[in-house]
Structure 1
Amino acid sequence: MKDVDRRALGLSAVLATVAGFVDAIGFLDSGGLFVSFMSGNSTHAAVDLGAAGGAVALTSATLIGSFVLGVTAGGLVGVRARRAPPWIVAGSAAAVALSALLALTGGVELPRLALLAAGMGSLNTLFPAEGRARVPVTYTTGTLVTLGLAVSALLTGGSRTAWMRPLLLWSALIGGAVVGGVVHRIGSASALSLAALALAGAAAVLARRRTSRVRPPHRAG
């Protein structure tokens, strides 16, 4: 995370806020499952199977599979597209928008939750490094480990600022979840529409930045 520049860190914080927002909507709609936190869903599935259940385990497995498919799709876009980040974020926006449409029309709950999980999964491919996510955008376990290690370094004479970045990302996701929990009161479709618009805006900003970078300088005649 320390080798991510300030612009990328700012983008990560914005997307983490949206991810927290969307995760809160998914959590409330599903009755306690997650669309970005797959460790929690894995535990839910295991406990449900151990209790001779099955319904929660099936839902959790669907969300986990959808999340992995989203990561896979984002990874493929990253390999094949010249300007991958805007397309990845735009794809996430489309998935959230489609989920909002299904919520508006009274569609089956599981498919729209699966769309959210896929959309959130894809965001974690924006900062790849050696086959892993350099910045975990939509989940906090790795971020909190990084924060703890940074605090231990601070206490032993190491970097005085390394803890700030993981704390920023964690705070962004938690803040987004708080807002998501409140906005959920206006309805899932409306709340998810706001999240889709935020992601679309982020994609547009990314596309504009990359276009300005490759545009040749103007020369006076």
Structure 2
Amino acid sequence: MPFDGPHRPEPNIVGIGVGLAVVLSMIAGMTDAVGFIRSRDFVSFMTGNTTHLAIAVGQGLWREALPLLLLILGFVLGNTLGGLVVILTRGRQTPLLSLVTLLLAAAALVSPANALSLPALLLLVLAMGASNAGLQRIGGTAMSVSFVSGGLSRFGIGLAGWLMGERRSGWVIQAVPWIGMLLGAILGTELELRAQAVALWVPCAAMGGLAFLTLALPHERQQGFTTVFSAPSGAGKRRSSTG
């Protein structure tokens, strides 16, 4: 898939980034589906939880509102934790994905087979928040792997430009996390319906396998997927992206 712009990444970097995006978004989809079926709350889709929170507050249902607020705060804390790990390890994916694996394993251990306690939900949102730090961009293209509204928006805007004659094609990659999350959520639903006992262990194992595979990825390649280490050489300040 071609990219356009002054900092066009190598084709193999694009392929690695797409692979990371697919796997991370599929894991997020699996986890979100299992979490939603068991609790009717989201573990990676904070827009949905924010709407639920607003409805609960508007109806005066404070017992429902407080857990939702904790989930949103937990997701933000997870993003912060993931960002700190990325900064402290200078952009390496392996420590971050290993941490996410441990959080998923802890959630699976404290969760009954057919329900989710609040501690388990908080561990899952921490994991999903932290996982976002592992892939924030591919080349010069901002990416979001555990929530896809921003990606779909960028895809639609890119499509508008293409219809008007703009032939840059980097926007097409924005569909990848959506496809991955869709497939992952379908798989997570099947796991929850057919194999509840291992439904949360499957995304945990997948994240652990991905962490192991990143050991083979050179450090400088890993840095290119995180915002804090992807600014062009000589830039006066670090650049950030929105999800």
Could you tell me the TM-score, scaled by structure 2's length?
Answer: 0.78
Q: State which of 90, 94, 107 in structure 1 corresponds to 2:102.
A: 94
Greater shift, 181-190 or 13-22, is seen at 181-190
Q: 1:21 aligns with which of 30, 47, 67?
A: 30
Report the alpha carbon displacement of residue 171 of structure 1 after superposing the two structures with TM: 1.0
Question: Which of 161, 167, 170 pairs up with 2:169?
Answer: 161
Instruction: Tell me what 2:72 maps to.
Output: 64
| CA-CA distance at 1:69 after TM superposition | 1.0
- For 1:27 and 1:106, how far apart are their aligned partners in 2? 11
Q: Mean alpha-carbon deviation: is it higher for 55-64 or for 142-151? A: 55-64
Counterparts in 2 of 1:56-205, with a 5 A limit? 56-82=64-90, 84-104=92-112, 109-128=117-136, 134-159=142-167, 161-205=169-213
- Identical-residue share of aligned pairs (%): 32
Partners of 2:38 and 2:115 within 8 A in 1: no
Q: TM-score, normalised by structure 1?
A: 0.86
Relative distance call for 1:182 and 1:127 in structure 2 (3 A) is closer
Task: Give the SS at the match of 1:159.
Answer: coil
More helix by share: 1
Runs of 4+ aligned residues of structure 1 deviating over 4 Å after TM superposition are 104-108
Partner of 1:41: 49
Q: Quote the Cα distance in structure 2 between the aligned partners of 1:68 and 1:98.
A: 19
Give the Cα–Cα distance (whole angstroms) in 1 for the partners of residues 78 and 98 of structure 2. Answer: 13
Unaligned runs of 5+ in 1: 214-221
Hey, what's the Cα distance between the residues in 2 that align with 1:201 and 1:140?
23
Equivalents in 2 of 1:106, 1:27: separation in Å? 11
What SS class does the counterpart of residue 183 from structure 2 fall into? Answer: helix
C-alpha contact (below 8 Å) 1:124/1:135 kept by paired residues: no
Query: In the TM superposition, what is the alpha-carbon distance from 1:36 to its structure 2 partner?
Result: 0.2
Residues 150 and 159 of structure 1 are in contact (CA less than 8 Å); yes or no, is this contact kept in structure 2?
no
8 Å contact kept, 2:35–2:116: no
1:105, CA displacement in angstroms? 8.0
Q: Distance in 1 between matches of 2:24 and 2:35?
A: 16
Residue ranges of structure 2 left out of the alignment (5+ in a row) = 222-243
The alpha carbon displacement at 1:112 in A equals 0.3
